[in-house]
Amino acid sequence: MTQRESKVQAGIEALDQWLQDLMHQGLASVQTQPAQFWEDIAARMVDAQAPGLARQLRQCDRIPYSGDGWLERLLVALGKLYLLVQGYQRLVSLPSGLQAEVRTQVGWTMKKTEVFALAATELSWQQTDRWQVLGMRVLEEDQLWSQRIWLWGIESDRPALVLNFSYGSPRFDHQGITLVPGIILPATLAFYPSSYPLRSLIQQVLGTATPMLEFSRGRQIMAALDQYHHAISQNPWLDRVPLIFTAVIPVKTEQGWWITDAQGRGLPLHPQFPQQWELLAVSGGREVAIAAEWDGEYLWPLSVAVDQRLILLQG
């Protein structure tokens, strides 16, 4: 066992005990805890060289002040954290993909060269397809910029994520590859190992990109949610996935903005999504196809296909 592995194992054991103590005290007690309650244990995970655990604990810190339903959301978040702790302590007994995902969630990383090398030797970690570039989101937290580019394979009918980071400014290194939302790119992707492979790198571009005028894959709301449930059954720590909806209408209700289908089913848009009215105007009150991020609670639309036109939305 390496020095880091020993530190991580000690951190995992400390977090396991901390979580058990918290459950014995009752989750309602977190609102009366001092300001350093979450940060203290998060800092211990940083010292244990488990930054993934620290990040998840700091996300939990915000939940008790997030409004109605906070207790249920905190229980879900802590449940995932406890599952991760238990998984790491039983790592050698897990399937290889799940082992890789648990290690990633704890904070172990892979170099890009390692991802390419793995895909070259184990073909199950690569996929050649014509990839629809559905949309992009760029976010910043504590001067760390992240760029999520969502893809969907036309033949494989599988999603993929190209994730880039940049510190200080949103200047991302795309390795000379143009990956613009609204195109179809023939390429081979190398996937990071996981129980539900999603994050990927462009291994090889195989031809010229063409404009995307419509989504070749899409489902009604319930079928799309079935895809999501399958994904989280394979990887319970997934925080978001892309979904493509067909024949949905954006509507404004007393509960906020939603997309609905002819069966009367609906999903809410994120309260901070800024282009609700534009989405409504584009649809004209008619059924359209929408690609969106889904985090299990809210949708963040990425692009809309209507009348052989693809309209990109703000990320």
175 pLDDT more than 80? no
**5 backbone dihedrals φ, ψ, rounded to 5°:** -60, -40
Residue 63 included in any domain:
yes
Q: Which of 203, 43, 42, 26 is nearest to 112 (CA)?
A: 203
Residue 288 included in any domain:
yes
* Residue 239 shares a structural domain with residue 253: yes
**Residue 314's pLDDT is what?**
74
Residue at which a domain ends, from 105, 134, 157:
105
**Residue 84's pLDDT is what?**
98
Per-residue pLDDT reduced to its tens digit, 7-29? 999 999 999 999 999 999 999 88
Half-sphere exposure of 57 (CA within 13 A, CB side): 27
Half-sphere exposure of 83 (CA within 13 A, CB side): 17
Neighbours of 224 (CB within 10 A): 22
Query: Would you say 242 and 196 are in contact if contact means Cβ atoms under 8 Å apart?
Result: no
* Residue 114 shares a structural domain with residue 101: no
Q: Select the more confidently predicted residue: 33 or 142.
A: 33
Task: Round to whole Å and give the CA distance between 218 and 224.
Answer: 8
Per-residue pLDDT reduced to its tens digit, 274-295? 999 999 999 999 999 999 999 9
* Residue 163 shares a structural domain with residue 94: no
Rounded mean pLDDT, 111-120: 96
Beta bridge partners of 251: 258
Geometric angle at alpha carbon 256, from 255 and 261, rounded to 5° = 95
Residue 216 included in any domain:
no
**Residue 305's pLDDT is what?**
96
Residue at which a domain ends, from 211, 229, 249:
211
Beta bridge partners of 46: none
Per-residue pLDDT reduced to its tens digit, 90-112? 999 999 999 999 999 999 999 99
Residue 64 included in any domain:
yes
Distances, alpha carbon 139 to alpha carbons 149, 153, 170, in Å: 12, 25, 9
Residue 251 included in any domain:
yes
With a pLDDT cut of 90, the percent of the chain lying above it is: 88
* Residue 94 shares a structural domain with residue 19: yes
* Residue 97 shares a structural domain with residue 132: no
pTM over 0.85: yes
Per-residue pLDDT reduced to its tens digit, 221-248? 999 999 999 999 999 999 999 999 999 9
Query: Would you say 285 and 297 are in contact if contact means Cβ atoms under 8 Å apart?
Result: no
Which tokens go with 251?
């509507």
Q: Which of 221, 158, 228 is nearest to 189 (CA)?
A: 158
What are the residues whose beta carbons fall under 8 Å from the beta carbon of 19, sequence distance 6 or more? 78, 81, 82, 85
Q: Which of the given ranges, 20-29, 147-156, 164-173, 306-315, has the highest pLDDT on average?
A: 147-156
What are the residues whose beta carbons fall under 8 Å from the beta carbon of 98, sequence distance 6 or more? 87, 195
Residue at which a domain ends, from 105, 126, 143:
105
Residue 267 included in any domain:
yes
* Residue 225 shares a structural domain with residue 195: no
Provide the CATH number for the domain around residue 176: 2.40.50
171 pLDDT more than 90? no
With a pLDDT cut of 70, the percent of the chain lying above it is: 99
**Residue 178's pLDDT is what?**
79
Q: Which of the given ranges, 66-70, 140-144, 266-270, has the highest pLDDT on average?
A: 266-270
The band of 140, judged by pLDDT with boundaries at 50, 70 and 90, is: confident
What burial letters (b/e) apply to 113-146, b meaning 16+ CB within 10 Å?
eebbebbeeeeebbbbbbbbbbbbbeeeeeeebe
Query: Would you say 160 and 175 are in contact if contact means Cβ atoms under 8 Å apart?
Result: no
* Residue 117 shares a structural domain with residue 148: yes
* Residue 7 shares a structural domain with residue 100: yes
Query: Would you say 149 and 202 are in contact if contact means Cβ atoms under 8 Å apart?
Result: no
174 pLDDT more than 80? no
315 pLDDT more than 70? no
Indicate the average pLDDT of the chain.
95
The tally of domains found in the chain comes to 3
**Residue 170's pLDDT is what?**
80
* Residue 61 shares a structural domain with residue 129: no
**Residue 296's pLDDT is what?**
95
Query: Would you say 44 and 14 are in contact if contact means Cβ atoms under 8 Å apart?
Result: yes
73 pLDDT more than 70? yes
* Residue 166 shares a structural domain with residue 248: no
* Residue 12 shares a structural domain with residue 100: yes
Residues of the domain holding 247: 221-312
Rounded mean pLDDT, 241-257: 96
62 pLDDT more than 70? yes
* Residue 9 shares a structural domain with residue 101: yes
Rounded mean pLDDT, 177-204: 96
